[in-house]
Amino acid sequence: MKKEVLEKLLRYVKIDTQSDPTSSTTPSTMKQFDLSNLLVEELKQIGLSNISIDDKCYVYATLPSNIPADHPAYGKVPAIGFVAHVDTSPDTSGANVNAQIIENYQGGDIVLPADNNVVIRMSENPNLEKCIGHTIVHTDGTTLLGSDDKSGVAAIMTAVEYLINHPEIIHGDIKVGFTPDEEIGRGANHFDVKGFNCEYAYTIDGDMPGEINKETFSADACKITTYGRDIHPGMAKDVMVNSIRAMADIIALMPKNTAPETTEGYEPYIHPYKVSGTVDKTELQILFRDFKTPGLADLKKTVDEIIAQVQPNYPKTRIEVEVTEQYRNMLDTLESNPHGLDYLWEACERSGVKPYWNPIRGGTDGSRLTEMGLPTPNIYTGGQNFHAKTEWVSIDGLAKAVETVINLVQIWVEKKA
């Protein structure tokens, strides 16, 4: 399956599908349709049924059950789904991706050919050591790769094609879903959970083989806006109110021990990640992340206290704070429906992978889908360094994801027999 999944991945990463958090439309960028429409055509060629794409760029398809009428599981196996997102991160360009392939990787740092200053270092990528002998795909150093989550798309497409070509593998109804805008926190907003009609689903949007996920951050977005008053600098005395200065003080007071670069594991963070402005108006975008949902209120309190400290120094500057809910930790819901987790664990073991549960310091479409009533844990892809020019993926690891999907659909049949 390495050859098939690699061919699909290389085809998909050439299509620019970067999403845009400043857009209010769904999808946030129309170019996401370029990949989604291609997937619709490929699903038709493979032979799936009930294939559709809606006006918001959600793709759905079904691989019908092939359980014989005399099989002990006939009529007992619920539909399960597999989901991946087509968009790539707005943090780094996904246009004109020039994928590089290393066959039989033998270790060492990987200097990216288009920019020798961009290096995938073994010291920063300990998982490279686990990939000796693997096929590694990375970029030329000018863009991200788009393995997040075109690897997941490729894994699902390869798995369903394999199942169609091997009808001796018994499975129930398999639903396929491809979403837009996951990278900007909107991937599940318009997902048709009712129409998908599954008891359980799985996102293919994870890390190295073995790491499976049933727990994510709870997440809120925060926007701070400072308002000033502009005037020609030559006549600004006692008139100009510079919104940038107030915002600079707010940023300077953000706690450095509660930042992504200083936290790990279950530690929460406050992440100011984008600022833009003029004298008149400055906006700061912030991410709040905590595995305990009530902890998000504590992060908001920290920001409120910073603003209360800064405001007296800028009495003429108006400061506003807006918090928007993004997604919630899926752990409690998934653990109350543990059978799908148990089946995933067994599928990993059958694939020759040693599974372990690891919390995601981020989110997936599964976070929101679980909240919407569709339990959806996450499966590995073999990818690393998402959202960066140093992004890479082990094709051997990606093939393990395909194998895990194929084993998983069989286990659902066996357990219901």
pLDDT digits (tens, 9 = 90+) for 92-138: 999 999 999 999 999 999 999 999 999 999 999 999 999 999 999 99
Predicted confidence at residue 1, as pLDDT, reads 84
Report pLDDT digits (tens) over 175-199: 999 999 999 989 999 999 999 999 9
- Does pLDDT of 397 surpass 90? yes
Outline which parts of the chain fall under CATH 3.30.70.360. 218-326
Class of domain 218-326: alpha beta
- Distance between terminal CA atoms of the chain? 28
Report pLDDT digits (tens) over 231-283: 999 999 999 999 999 999 999 999 999 999 999 999 999 999 999 999 999 99
- As a CATH number, domain 2-216+329-416 is 3.40.630.10
Q: Are 96 and 143 in contact (CB under 8 A)?
A: yes
Give the separation between CA 243 and CA 90, rounded to whole angstroms: 26
To the query of whether residue 41 is one of the catalytic residues in this protein, the response is no
To the query of whether residue 182 is one of the catalytic residues in this protein, the response is yes
CB burial of 37-66 (b: ≥16 within 10 Å; e: otherwise) equals eebbebbeebebeebebeebbbbbbbbebb
Task: Name the active-site residue from 149, 173, 181, 182.
Answer: 182
Predicted confidence at residue 165, as pLDDT, reads 97
Predicted confidence at residue 332, as pLDDT, reads 86
Predicted confidence at residue 95, as pLDDT, reads 97
pTM: 0.89
pLDDT band with cut points at 50, 70 and 90 for residue 204: very high
Predicted confidence at residue 327, as pLDDT, reads 86
Outline which parts of the chain fall under CATH 3.40.630.10. 2-216+329-416
- Does pLDDT of 378 surpass 90? yes
- Does pLDDT of 417 surpass 90? no
Task: Name the active-site residue from 87, 161, 173, 183.
Answer: 87
Among 304, 296, 309, 305, CA closest to 320? 304
pLDDT band with cut points at 50, 70 and 90 for residue 316: very high
pLDDT band with cut points at 50, 70 and 90 for residue 28: very high
Tokens for 9?
Answer: 């991945």
pLDDT band with cut points at 50, 70 and 90 for residue 56: very high
